[in-house]
Structure 1
Amino acid sequence: MKFSTQILALLGAITCALASVVRSSDSANGLDFVYPYPVKSYRFVSQRKHFTMSYMDVMPEGTPKGSIVLLHGKNFCGATWNATIQVLVDDGYRVVAPDQVGFCKSTKPSEYQFSLMALAQNTNGLLNSIGITNATIMGHSMGGMISARYALMYPNETYQLVMVDPLGLENWFSLGVPYQSPDLSYSSELETTYDSLKTYQQSTYYAGTWLSSYDVWVNMLLSIYQGPLGDRFAWNMAETTDMIFTQPVIDELPNLQMSSLLMVGDKDTTAIGSKWAPADIKALIGHYEVLGKEVSAEIPGCTLVEFPLLGHAPQIQDPDTFHAALLNWLP
């Protein structure tokens, strides 16, 4: 009888664990995509609205030697960090990878004042809720802007800062790019197709190259546009385009106080507004082979790592080289 009770308890524990994994693959907030690790939910109130922030919280074996928070870019999700999460966990770090409000498996609000400060504050609330008050904050693309803003807002809670091909290294408006309203951006977002996503990502993220393994990230993003919350997602993307364009962080980066790492693919040409900028202005923006050197020289204690042959997403295009450089810098 005792043996049977133990077996039943064990089966119950296994069933609960499996149920947790299954729930992580269910469609959430318009994204039916299986994440590499169980997905948890942080519920909070912002701007008088109730939100859910989905996130992965992955622990290493044994005591973590530190926590690293991975912030995704505008055309990415927390799941896009899958290879990086595994590398960092294997190296002994606790890794948290959230989906920002408006993205992926998190709430897609019909109305929200998107700002880098609001997204950084949401992230800080999530981390505090799971007991993390000091972490290495690492962001890619738009996530690089958010991570920089986070470090400026919460310097005592940011152990180190890592920015991977961050946006906002130049002020596009001051360089001559005209302002475009979110309404026009929304119309453009509604026209998103597999081909439009692939064409943009191939030229910008992967320096003109393409592997079949990249398709999963295109299809992941496309599934949100074509899903039940596609219209709301398109509006959120238009709003975040406006946020990125109007809130450059370049002038404040010299105020960063912690040790930082800037990692850039020199073939990256990402620049918000390049699609609608005049030809002569477009030629002036998005030169990461120049921006990396200029910006890192302005940040106290900043280390620059360049990838001469890579584009906007070096962690995906050449993960081995990228992760070797990252681990070489981390303590």
Structure 2
Amino acid sequence: MKKYWLAFWVTGFVLYCFPQDKLKALDKDLTTVSYPYKVNFKSIQSQGEELRMAYMDVAPKKANGKTVVLLHGKNFNAAYWEKTIKELTKRGYRVIAPDQIGFGKSTKPENYQYSFSQLAANTKSILDSLNIKTTVVLGHSMGGMLAARFALQYPEMTEKLILENPIGLEDYKTMIKYKTVDENYQTELKNSAESYKEYQLKNYYDGKWKSEYNRWLNLLAGWTLHKDYSIIAWNAALTTDMVVTQPVLYEFGNIACPTLLIIGTRDRTAIGKDSAPNEVQYKMGLYNQLGKKTQQAFPNAKLVELDNVGHLPHIEAFDRFIKPFTNFLDD
């Protein structure tokens, strides 16, 4: 198989805001990272390779017979659903939270044709192995695009759909200058704790950092310190291309199941914004407008807007996120 032409080692300094006892080098499989619940692995035969897909399967003490699948975003993994899982299982829901191929503890292939349809099929293979016939699906950020594709691809399995600040509510490829996978790879290789934090401060948290955010940031930043980072960067470049070239918004009208949009209106996330013309950049990622526009695209959607909340409602404003979510589940 093709080997990477550039091995990437980071041996530089650690930023003042990430003391060395907190920011540690992390291998591609996060083998030294503990998730909040037991991690299982599903073997998947995909595109001529045997891959491993990590997932948490958390059972409630008193089951209500319902299952919720939680789909993570591009800069995250299933671990950041910890508080959401705790609340859902307390209410009787079984929760399945996978790491998609290329993310978290799952396999990072050297060659993989990423598509939302493929990731949806991979997710379904886990549900099939667990004999889960129907489920509620929640997707955040990139996971929102995947959740929409899952609902389109497997409508018989999707009882309800929840999209939490999903990306892809606009067609990025019509707004930006296209970057090849190789160009995106070179960009990914330049990432550091500093660049990740700067991006998240600007797009997620309105310039206001809390110590509790370090946990999720350090999972990204720790990768940049490890010799495995080249494979992480390569997969990140491939998934960026997937997001840009595979819009799902044109098919929202075909999603018949009850849908809830939870939108933090301060969010300004837009993939590839830095490569858009200056006169276009300020129009991208306006979630205070995108939520309303997207609601109209669905035949059966409810919109809950969270003012002064950014890209991560379930991290930044959990109580405001969980109430409309659970109300929707209980309807």
TM-score by length of 1: 0.90
CA contact (8 A) 1:32 1:223 kept: no
Q: Which amino acid aligns with 1:327?
A: T
- Is the contact made by 2:27 and 2:226 (CA closer than 8 Å) also made in structure 1? no
Percent of aligned pairs with the same amino acid: 42
The answer for the alignment partner of 2:39 in structure 1 is 39
Equivalent residue runs for 1:37-186 within 5 Å? 37-174=37-174, 176-186=175-185
Task: Judge conservation of contact 1:30–1:228 (CA < 8 Å) in 2.
Answer: no
CA displacement at 1:311 relative to structure 2: 0.4
Amino acid paired to 1:146: L
Q: Which has the larger radius of gyration?
A: 1
2:28 touches 2:229 (CA, 8 Å); kept in 1? no
Deviations 1:58-82 (A, max 9, x none): 0001233300000000001000111
Q: How far did 1:32 drift?
A: 2.6
Letter in 2 for 1:158: T
SS of 2:167's equivalent?
A: coil
1:272 is paired with a residue whose SS is coil
**Greater Cα offset, 118-127 or 201-210:** 201-210
Is the CA contact 1:266–1:289 (under 8 Å) kept in the aligned structure 2? Answer: yes
RMSD of aligned C-alpha atoms? Answer: 1.3
The superposition leaves residues 217-253 of structure 1 with CA deviations (integer Å, 9 ceiling, x where unpaired) of: 1101222333342110100000000000001111001
Q: Following the alignment from structure 2 to structure 1, what is the Cα–Cα distance between the partners of residues 103 and 32?
A: 13
Rounded Cα–Cα distance in structure 2 between residues aligned with 1:288 and 1:32: 36
Paired residue type of 1:211 = K
Give CA-to-partner distance per residue, 1:251-290, whole Å, 9 cap, x none: 0011101001111110111111102212111112110110
CA distance in 2, matches of 1:147, 1:129: 19
The alpha-carbon deviation at position 30 of structure 1 amounts to: 4.2
Residue in structure 1 matched with residue 295 of structure 2 by the alignment: 296
Match of 1:195 in 2: 194
In the TM superposition, structure 1's runs of 4+ consecutive aligned residues that sit over 6 Å from their partners are: none
Structure 1: tracts of 5 or more residues without a match: 1-25
Contact 2:168 2:247 in 1 (8 A): yes
What corresponds to 2:222 in structure 1? 223
Structure 1 SS opposite 2:52: strand
**Quick one: which amino acid aligns to residue 285 of structure 1?**
M
- Mapped contact 1:139–1:146 kept (Cα < 8 A): yes
Cα deviation code 1:122-143 (max 9, x no counterpart): 0001111111120001110000
Q: Secondary structure at the match of 2:266?
A: coil
Alpha-carbon distance change, 31 to 178 in structure 1, aligned in 2, over 3 angstroms: farther
Q: Secondary structure at the match of 2:139?
A: strand
State how far apart, in whole Å, the 1-side matches of 2:44 and 2:316 are: 35
Matches within 5 A, 1:202-221: 202-221=201-220
Q: 1-side partners of 2:59 and 2:27: how far apart?
A: 24
1:233 and 2:232 are equivalent in the alignment: yes
Paired with 1:219 and 1:315, the residues of 2 have a C-alpha distance of: 18
Which amino acid in 2 is paired with 1:178? K
Q: Give the superposition deviation at 1:28.
A: 7.1
Deviation at 1:330, TM superposition (A): 1.2
What is the letter of the counterpart of residue 241 of structure 1? Answer: T
Q: Which moved more, 1:31-40 or 1:155-164?
A: 31-40
In 1, the alpha carbon distance for the partners of 2:206 and 2:253 equals: 29
Q: Normalization by structure 2: what TM-score?
A: 0.90
Deviation at 1:27, TM superposition (A): 7.0
For residues 65 and 289 of structure 1, what CA distance do their matches in structure 2 show?
36
Number of residue-to-residue matches in the alignment:
305
Contact 1:30 1:229 survives alignment (8 Å): no
Does the 8 Å CA contact 1:31/1:104 hold for their aligned counterparts? no
What amino acid is aligned across from residue 270 of structure 1 in structure 2? T
Q: How many Å separate the matches in 2 of 1:304 and 1:181?
A: 35
The residue aligned with 2:312 is: 313
SS in 2 for 1:306: strand
* Residue of structure 1 equivalent to 2:274: 275
TM-superposition CA deviations, 1:281-318 (whole Å, max 9, x none) = 11121101101000111101101011110000011001
What code does the residue aligned with 2:106 have?
S
Name the structure, 1 or 2, with higher relative contact order (CA <8 Å, separation 6+). Answer: 2
Change (3 A) 1:31 1:208: farther
Instruction: Tell me the SS of whatever aligns to 2:275.
Output: coil
Is this contact kept in 1: 2:161–2:260, CA < 8 A?
Answer: yes
2-side partners of 1:151 and 1:178: how far apart? Answer: 30
Report the Cα distance in structure 1 between the residues aligned to 2:326 and 2:142, rounded to whole angstroms: 22
Quick check: 1:244 aligned with 2:243? yes
Is contact 1:100-1:119 (8 Å) kept?
A: yes
Which AA in structure 1 matches 2:91? D
Structure 1 residues 28 and 177, CA gap change in structure 2 (3 angstroms)? closer
